Amino acid sequence: MTRRYLVITELFLPTKGGTAVWFDEVYRRLGGKDIHIVTAAVPGAAEHDAMHPNSVHRLDLRRVPWLRPESLAMYGKLFVRSLALALRHRFDAVHAGRALPEGLIAWLVARLSWLPVTIYAHGEELTGWGRGNKYRVMCFALRHADQVIANSDFTRQALVDMGVRPERIAIVHPGVDTGRFRPGLPSDDLRAGLGLAPDARLLLSVGRLQRRKGFDSVIRCLPELVAAGLDVHYAIVGIGEDEAYLDDLARELGVSQRVHRLGHVPMDDLPRWYNASDLFVLANREIGGDTEGFGIVFIEAAACGKAAIAGRAGGTGSAVLDGVTGLRVDGESQPALCAAILDILRDDVRRAALGAAGLARARETLSWDAVAARTLALAGGGSLPQAEGKLSEN
């Protein structure tokens, strides 16, 4: 059965980020031109959309500073285009990438066109917006959706706490491209480019450089790890507001030569950086309600056969199975993080076993094909897969 969805999402490739990748990967697997994506106009969109199997509609969704609220024009553009599409096409449902701004628009469009509406929830937006007007509008959209897709158990509980009826919440974890992210990719040149000795250990983190990700916590562990006799280096992929802070911290601790900030790396090189590392670490913590809703980077590392260490805050328990595919530690505790890194780096057998378990899980249940199949099943379009496989066409 072909499913026809109207998908409203500000985040869609080629915009960077896990959420943009999620929607692109899933909906291209769920159908062809009968699926319409309403999203933001961004650099590189024309080239991306030309080969995309879905119908992609791009809008200028920039905020207007002199408007009150600044997002008023964006809401208006999303509503007008989405309603026009809903009245012109026979969709099965309206899907929204987030509660705000997309969810509120999707709910209104769905009610005017007599369609069910599904809203995705990612975790960070539920806990990081305080309790003001924006939070109340977000609660309204989520409580009135016919279905809410949560990315983790943590996000599901946050939704329940907000008053969303539990029976309307389904959990679908994000996925990973297991063809692109895989073990065995050549990476010796990357390690050599950092000047690593053959027996050096390389820690890796990937993400936006912001305080809650815990990059600074890993840097603070380096002197202790070196004092314990490890030749350890730390590579960071990503950009963000903490660039100068992390550089200054590395200098203060005397580990500048061991911290390698790589910025953005080419798409083809990101899987190779996972392969080049010995251990993936993202010691996330909650700061002012801002937390990690899931952490796609953890399963990217797993798909490359790497063990991971995650902070306990947020929804990382759905991405890293503690003691099975990696370890979860208190991201606020420097001694706990240092001890966990030291233990795994010193135990090659355990590190390999954790990596192998993560790889098996990624391939069996977290491939994009498996995620798309679960999404389809939620809409009554199929049955849940037991293992990774291409979606069949009826």
> Could you give all domains of the chain from N- to C-terminal order, each with its CATH number?
5-175+367-378 (3.40.50.2000), 188-363 (3.40.50.2000)
Amino acid 1: pLDDT:
56
The count of other CB atoms within 10 Å of the CB of residue 101 is 21
Q: What is the DSSP string of 36-64?
A: EEEEE--TTHHHHHHT-SSEEEEE-----
The count of other CB atoms within 10 Å of the CB of residue 17 is 13
Amino acid 390: pLDDT:
37
Amino acid 62: pLDDT:
86
pLDDT, one tens digit per residue, over 268-303 is: 999 999 999 999 999 999 988 788 889 999 999 999
Q: pLDDT band for 69, please (50, 70, 90 cuts).
A: confident
Percent share of the chain, pLDDT over 90: 84
Q: pLDDT band for 240, please (50, 70, 90 cuts).
A: very high
pLDDT at 218 over 70: yes
Q: What are the percentages of helix, strand and coil residues in the chain, rounded to 5?
A: 45, 15, 40
